[in-house]
Structure 1
Amino acid sequence: MGARYCFSSKDFELLTGRNTAATRAALVRLHARGLITSLARGSGLWLIVPPEHADRGAPPVWWWLHDFLSRKEESYHLALLSAAQAHGSSHFAVLETQIFVPSSRRVLQVGPFRLRFFVKQSLAQSPTVALPTEKSRVRVSSMTTTLLDLLRHAPVIGGVERAALILGDLAPKLDPEDITESLNAASDVAAAQRFGYLLDLYGHTRHANRVHKWLSQHRAQRTRLDTSSCANDSEIAQRWNVVVNTNLESIA
């Protein structure tokens, strides 16, 4: 499994054989010396701070994220821009770690790291992969699921143009079986229409045909490519029933 940087007060008590009062006192001393830091106030969870990361107050977030979240959020996974980065898209610097969880959680700041949580109702059904990190591993939405989520949450990530750029990075690496599995799990016809249109636009015909086959079994109503803009007199991509109300040709 690799190194573990996250532990609970109970873990510490069991490992050291101390009683609860002595455990609390020892943790306070370690915290005062900057050797550990608290994870989520009142959670009883702590993070080891190696000496080489003492100036930042925490080690890199991917070293401990899985150990921290899997204690209470078994279905968590990296989301949106963070997931895209994990899959190899480097178009955008990610200033926060974006994570899908099943219920609402506050933004968490640990040292210099900001963790932002998004609620996803179908979290447990979403296809994921476990990617190794330098010290541990992290659960990430599958590549197709990541692209569908980016299209569904385009306003949050800075617009459909960003989602399109990332799709251009990742589309050549898509797994056909993951496309079908992710479409079934998301069950979002409008996102599938935008996804298929962009695959066609960028010349990924084989993948686009698979999306079209999936859509043929669903009722596809007219949808805008950019949901944050009005349709006006924009062209209609008939195959996908998508209103092309933004120009992506320049980045295709």
Structure 2
Amino acid sequence: MASKTLGSTSARLLTVLAEDNRTIFSVADAQQVLGSSYDATLKTLRRLTRAGWLVRLTAGRYAIVPLSSGEEATPQVNRYVVVRELLGETPYYISHESAMDVHNMLTRPVTTVIVTTPRRLAGREILGVPYRFVYAPPSALWGCQPVWVTPYEQVTVSDLEKTILDGLARPDLCAGVGQVATGLWIRQEDFDWDRLAGYAQKLGRRSVAQRLGYLLELYGLDTPVLIETLQEMIGDNYTRLDLLLPDEGPTLARWRLRLNLEPGALQAIVRT
């Protein structure tokens, strides 16, 4: 790393941005603080990046590296805020396992940030964190809300009900149905069951209705209206309870499920 000696201009820039809690900022933000031309501002930012005071996130976006980062030059930037900065005006929401993390629905740490967006993007690693982008048409971006992930920063995250449905639709993005069941149990007091019923109908995925209905009854969380709604959605075809596991095990006619994850394993969740 180059010397971290600061000149007066650079020191003023970092001080003003830090006082405004702008740990992530644009070239235009820096230009406004410095009152200099675009080229001069860009030159200052490049110099600060070489010196280890900044890390470039994306084109035109930078993050401040705090003194506590030492030689690793790792900015203290929330991984979910990076998503917002990366996508800019593109619609998105933090989804699946990452949404479960934001909503405190997990009992283990997650390493990959999962984002649903109508923009087709390849996965990438930013500041040592893997990011995976799941394509969805604009019409599928519903059931999300702004959530505070730091005292100063909000990002868009699927709400509790949509998080569960997304997880049951793509268990592979949540480390399996067992993790979704964990989140369902942990946050059971906070779900709006009527909203969940409406969301299930709007999503219209039979396999999701089958998995959700089974888990609700297994944990005794069912409400008559919700169960009736889910029962009306299931068809004649059987589906696996967990898509990550082999297609084996007994079947359950009520929910048209292949129980390839033992009920005892799921029930153990509520006893731990």
TM-score for the superposition, normalised by structure 1: 0.83
Shift of the 127–200 alpha-carbon distance from structure 1 to 2, 3 Å rule, reads: same
Gaps of 5+ in 2: 1-19, 268-272
2:62 to 28, 32, 46: 46
Shift of the 177–30 alpha-carbon distance from structure 1 to 2, 3 Å rule, reads: farther
Shift of the 99–22 alpha-carbon distance from structure 1 to 2, 3 Å rule, reads: same
Deviates more, 1:211-220 or 1:90-99: 211-220
Shift of the 202–141 alpha-carbon distance from structure 1 to 2, 3 Å rule, reads: same
Matches within 5 A, 1:52-131: 52-53=68-69, 55-62=72-79, 64-65=81-82, 67-69=84-86, 71-73=88-90, 75-121=91-137, 125-131=141-147
Shift, 1:8, TM fit: 2.1
2:216 to 195, 199, 202: 199
Number of residues paired by the alignment? 246
The corresponding residue for 2:265 is 250
**Which has the higher Rg, Structure 1 or Structure 2?**
2
Shift, 1:123, TM fit: 6.2
2:45 to 23, 27, 30: 27
Gaps of 5+ in 1: none
The corresponding residue for 1:160 is 177
Contact kept in structure 2, 1:62 and 1:137, CA below 8 Å: no
The corresponding residue for 1:138 is 155
Shift, 1:246, TM fit: 2.0
Contact kept in structure 2, 1:189 and 1:218, CA below 8 Å: yes
Shift of the 169–52 alpha-carbon distance from structure 1 to 2, 3 Å rule, reads: same
Shift, 1:31, TM fit: 0.6
CA distance in structure 1 between the partners assigned to 2:131 and 2:30 by the alignment: 25
| CA RMSD across the alignment | 2.7
Contact kept in structure 2, 1:223 and 1:241, CA below 8 Å: yes
Identity of matched residues, %: 23
The corresponding residue for 2:194 is 177
TM-score for the superposition, normalised by structure 2: 0.78
